[in-house]
Structure 1
Amino acid sequence: MNAVPQGVARRVLLALTFAYVLNFLDRQMLGILAGPIKADLHLSDRQFGAVGGLAFALLYSLLGLPLSLLADRTSRSGVIAGALAVWSGFTALCGTAASFGQLFAYRLGVGVGEAGGVAPSYALIADHFPPATRGRALAFYSLGVPVGLAAGTLFGAYLAALVSWRAAFVTMGAIGLAYAPLFRRLVRDRPRSGSAPSTGALGAALAAVARKPSFWLLAFASSCSSLAGYGLALWTPSILERSFGLAMVARGQFFASLLLIGGVAGVMLGGVLADRLGRARGRWYALLPAIAWLVTAPLFTLGLNAQGLTAAWLWLLVPNALNILWLGPVTTAVQGMVPAEQRATASSAFLVINNLIGLGAGPLLIGALSDRLKAVHGAEALRIAATEVLAFYLLAALLALVAATRVERDMIGD
Structure 2
Amino acid sequence: MTRPAFASTPRSRPNVVLGMLLVVYIFNFVDRQILAILAGPIQADLELSDTEMGLLGGIAFALLYSTLAVPLAWLADRTSRSWVITISLVCWSGFTAICGMAQNFWQIFLARLGVGIGEAGGIAPSYALISEYFPSEKRARALSIYSLGIPLGSALGVLAGGYIAATVDWRVAFFVVGLAGVLIAPLFKFLVRDRKSAPSPADLTATDPVATDPAPERVPFSKIVGLLARKKSFWFLAFGAASSSMLGYGIGFWLPSLLQRSFGLSLVETSQFFGGVLLTGGVIGVLAGGWLGDWMGTRDKAAYALVPAIAFLLAIPLFAGGIMSGSVTLAFVLFLIPQALAYVWLGPVLSAIQHLVTPESRATASALFLLINNLLGLGGGIYLLGALSDQLAPIYGDEALRYSMLYALALYGLAALLMALAARPLRKDWVADA
- Provide TM-score, normalisation by structure 1: 0.97
Native 8 Å contact 1:73 1:197 kept in 2: no
Matches within 5 A, 1:201-240: 201-240=220-259
8 Å CA contact 1:142–1:327 kept in 2: the answer is yes
Q: Contact 2:6/2:194 (CA < 8 Å) preserved in 1?
A: no
C-alpha contact 2:57 2:382 (8 A) present in aligned 1: yes
Q: Partner of 2:58: helix, strand, or coil?
A: helix
Select which of 279, 289, 293 maps to 1:274: 293
Question: Do 1:72 and 1:197's aligned partners in 2 also have CA atoms closer than 8 Å?
Answer: no
> Corresponding residue for 2:368?
349
Question: Quick check: 1:403 aligned with 2:408?
Answer: no
Return the offset for 1:4: 7.3
Q: Could you say what secondary structure the match of 1:17 adopts? A: helix
The equivalent of 2:167 in structure 1 is 162
User: Which consecutive unaligned segments of at least 5 residues does structure 1 have?
Assistant: none
Q: Is the 8 A contact 1:72 1:196 kept in 2?
A: no
Q: Say which of 363, 370, 376 aligns to 2:389.
A: 370
Return the offset for 1:353.
0.2
Displacement over 6 Å in runs of 4+: 1-7
**Which residue is equivalent to 1:141?**
146
3-state SS in 2 of match to 1:241: helix
TM-aligned CA distance change 1:370 to 1:197, over 3 Å:
farther
Q: What residue identity is the alignment partner of 1:235? A: W
Quick one: distance in 2 between partners of 1:194 and 1:389?
A: 48
Q: Are the counterparts in 2 of residues 4 and 129 from structure 1 also a CA contact under 8 Å?
A: no
Query: In structure 1, how many angstroms separate the alpha carbons of the residues matched to 2:257 and 2:217?
Result: 46
Name the residue aligned to 2:62. Answer: 57
Q: Please tell me whether residue 28 in structure 1 is matched to residue 47 in structure 2.
A: no
Query: What residue in structure 2 maps to residue 323 of structure 1?
Result: 342
Aligned pair in 2 of structure 1 residues 74, 27: CA closer, same or farther (>3 Å)? same
CA distance in 2, matches of 1:176, 1:336: 31
SS in 1 for 2:248: helix
Point out the more displaced range, 322-331 or 186-195: 186-195
State the alpha-carbon separation in 2 of the partners of residues 160 and 379 from structure 1: 24
Give the Cα separation in 2 of the matches to 1:196 and 1:365: 43
What count of residue pairs does the alignment treat as equivalent?
413
Counterpart code for 1:112: I
- Structure 2 regions of 5+ residues with no counterpart? 198-212
Cα contact 1:90–1:109 (8 A) shared by 2: yes
| SS of structure 2 residue aligned to 1:258 | helix
Distance in 2 separating the partners of 1:226 and 1:333: 17
In 1, Cα distance between equivalents of 2:38 and 2:371: 27
1:406 is paired with a residue whose SS is helix
Once the 2 structures are TM-superposed, how far is the Cα of residue 194 of structure 1 from its aligned partner?
Answer: 5.8
Of all paired residues, the percent bearing the same amino acid is 52
- Give the 5 Å matches for 1:184-199: 184-192=189-197, 193=213, 195=215
Listed one character per residue, the Cα deviations across residues 348-370 of structure 1 (whole Å, up to 9, x for unaligned) are 00000000000000000010011
Change (3 A) 1:401 1:60: same
| 1:175 alignment partner in structure 2 | 180
Query: Which residue does 2:202 correspond to in 1?
Result: none
Q: 2:79 pairs with 74, 78, 101, which one?
A: 74
Following superposition, the deviation at residue 376 of structure 1 comes to 2.2
Secondary structure at 2:220's aligned position in 1?
A: helix
Instruction: Check the 8 A contact 2:91/2:118 in 1, yes or no.
Output: yes
Which structure 2 residues correspond to residues 231-270 of structure 1 after superposition, within 5 A? 231-270=250-289
Cα drift, residue 132 of structure 1:
1.3
Q: Report if aligned partners of 2:318, 2:338 keep a CA contact under 8 Å in 1.
A: yes
Aligned with 2:317 (options 298, 302, 310): 298
Q: Shift of residue 201 of structure 1?
A: 1.4
Q: Which residue identity does 2:324 align to in structure 1? A: N
User: How many angstroms apart in 2 are the aligned matches of 1:182 and 1:5?
Assistant: 15
Give 1:197 deviation, angstroms.
5.9
Change (3 A) 1:197 1:155: farther
Helix, strand or coil for the counterpart of 1:224? helix
What are the superposed Cα offsets for residues 201-220 of structure 1, whole Å, 9 maximum, x if unpaired? 11111112111100100000
* Residue identity matched to 1:270: G
Which amino acid counterpart does residue 296 of structure 1 have in structure 2? A
Correspondence for 1:41 among 46, 57, 60: 46
SS at structure 1 position matched to 2:375: helix
Cα deviation for residue 48 of structure 1 reads: 0.2
Task: Name the SS for the 2:13 alignment partner.
Answer: helix
Instruction: Return the match for 1:152 from 149, 154, 157.
Output: 157
Question: 1:236 is aligned with what amino acid?
Answer: L
Q: 1:393 and 2:412 equivalent?
A: yes
Displacement of 1:385: 0.5
> Does the 8 A contact of 1:4 with 1:128 survive in 2?
no
